[in-house]
């Protein structure tokens, strides 16, 4: 029994291998990129819109709303990264209804790469928002004693992201494979339907967790101005009342 799609090798020359993971990753990337390019080639702003444009609009506005609900301001800046993560993981698990397809997220290399992207993106957005000093200060936030634990949590959540997605996708295909040998009539279909649901939930969770991590790295100084602005408004109102 195979543990991941890395073990199906299509072509090999010395150290270079082209395995099923790489092939399906590139196929998904091609479908996503070429498909959205084709759809956005002739966009209309009028009332008449094509079906595909409506679909993409629903997807993009849905992702934007979710990002905003997590607490990231200005979702336009993050949708390029978080939306890509979500769309890739979601389409990787949705395509499992195609026979002969192996989800590339069922290989630890793919999920580790995605988690490493999150690992790099969190300090990137954090430094962009609060500067290098402000970001580094968030590591010693309550006290200096927390410094090693903050670093450990940074590393362990990357590992957790990778292993969670890998474990879920791998367990889905493995359960279907085991059930096919025991009860090959109806249960594999029910389990693959459950696998579709799990895949969507995992895609949602992967991108939401990435959004939460980015939000926690960028948020630190943002909530401060609001009470001050409120106080200024009330004091100006009071002053106006005094004048009156």
Partner 1 sequence: MDSITLIAIASIVTAGLTIALGSIGPALGEGRAVATALSSLAQQPDSASTITRTLFVGLAMIESIAIYCFVVSMILLFANPFWNHIIAQAAGK
Footprint of partner 1 (CB under 8 A) = 1, 3, 69, 160, 163-164, 166-168, 170-171, 174, 201-202, 204-205, 208-209, 212
User: What's the min distance (Å) between Cβ of 243 and partner 1?
Assistant: 41
CA 114 to CA 124: how far, in whole Å?
A: 15
CA distances from 24 to 110, 162, 209 (A): 11, 18, 25
User: What's the min distance (Å) between Cβ of 86 and partner 1?
Assistant: 14
User: What's the min distance (Å) between Cβ of 25 and partner 1?
Assistant: 21
Considering beta carbons, is residue 70 or 217 the nearer one to partner 1?
A: 70
Considering beta carbons, is residue 24 or 166 the nearer one to partner 1?
A: 166
Q: What angle do CA 168, 173, 177 make, to 5 degrees?
A: 140
Considering beta carbons, is residue 29 or 175 the nearer one to partner 1?
A: 175
CA 181 to CA 197: how far, in whole Å?
A: 23
User: What's the min distance (Å) between Cβ of 188 and partner 1?
Assistant: 19
For residue 225, which of 214, 233, 217 has the smallest C-alpha distance?
A: 233
| Joined tokens for residue 80 | 């390029």
Considering beta carbons, is residue 78 or 135 the nearer one to partner 1?
A: 78
């Amino acid at each position: 029994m195979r543990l991941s799609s890395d073990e199906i090798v299509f072509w090999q020359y010395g150290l270079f291998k082209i395995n099923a993971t790489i092939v399906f990753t590139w196929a998904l990337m091609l479908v996503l990129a070429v498909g959205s390019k084709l759809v956005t080639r002739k966009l209309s702003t009028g009332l008449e819109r094509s079906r595909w444009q409506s679909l993409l609009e629903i997807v993009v506005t849905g992702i934007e709303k979710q990002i905003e609900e997590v607490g990231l301001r200005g979702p336009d800046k993050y949708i390029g990264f978080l939306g890509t993560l979500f769309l890739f993981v979601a389409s990787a698990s949705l395509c499992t209804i195609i026979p002969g397809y192996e989800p590339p997220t069922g290989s630890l290399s793919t999920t580790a790469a995605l988690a490493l992207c999150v690992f790099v993106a969190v300090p990137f957005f954090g430094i962009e928002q609060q500067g290098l000093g402000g970001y580094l200060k968030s590591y010693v936030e309550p006290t200096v004693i927390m410094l090693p634990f903050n670093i450990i949590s940074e590393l362990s959540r990357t590992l957790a992201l990778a292993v969670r997605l890998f474990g879920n996708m791998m367990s889905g295909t493995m359960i279907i494979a085991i059930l096919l040998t025991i009860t090959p009539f109806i249960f594999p279909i029910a389990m693959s339907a459950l696998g579709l649901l799990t895949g969507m939930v995992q895609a949602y969770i992967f991108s939401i967790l990435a959004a939460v991590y980015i939000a926690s790295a960028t948020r630190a100084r943002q909530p401060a101005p609001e009470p001050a602005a409120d106080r200024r408004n009330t004091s100006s109102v009071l002053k106006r009342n005094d004048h009156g």
